[in-house]
Amino acid sequence: MLLQTKIIVLDEATANVDLATDNFIQQKLRECFIVNSEATVLIIAHRLATVIDADRILVMAGGRGVEYGHPFKLLTNDENDSQITNTEGNFATMVKATGAEAQA
C-alpha cells in the first residue's frame, strides 16, 4: 500500500462496497496500518465493524463530539464487565441496536 505513511485519513472508504469487499479492505488496512504500525489512522465511518477494534473512537451527534475513548470503555461501566453495561452511552446504544450477533 502506501509505504512509510505516518497519517492516513479514510472518509467512508468502504461505504459503497458489498460486505465481502468491506471485510477484505478492512483486513488489509489492519495488516498495513494498524497492527505493528506507527501510522495514525483516522477513519470516518458509519459501520460499527469498521471502527470496533480502534484504539479510540469519537462518537459524533449533531455535529458535536459526544463520546470519546477506547471502544471497550465506551461499552462498559467497569473494566471487569464482559457485556455491555453502559446502557446510557451513545456508542453502546448503537452497538446494541446492531443485534446480538454483532455483540459477540
Q: Which residue has the higher pLDDT, 68 or 29?
A: 68
Q: What is the mean pLDDT of the chain?
A: 81
Most confident of 48-57, 67-76, 79-88, 91-100: 67-76
Looking at the predicted structure, is the pLDDT value of residue 28 above 70?
yes
Question: Is residue 86 within 8 Å of 94, Cβ to Cβ?
Answer: no
User: What residue segments make up the domains of the chain, in order of their start?
Assistant: 1-53, 55-104
Q: pTM of the full predicted structure?
A: 0.72
Instruction: Please tell me the distance from the alpha carbon of residue 84 to that of residue 45, in angstroms, as a whole number.
Output: 21
Q: Which residue has the higher pLDDT, 12 or 67?
A: 67
Question: Is residue 5 within 8 Å of 33, Cβ to Cβ?
Answer: yes
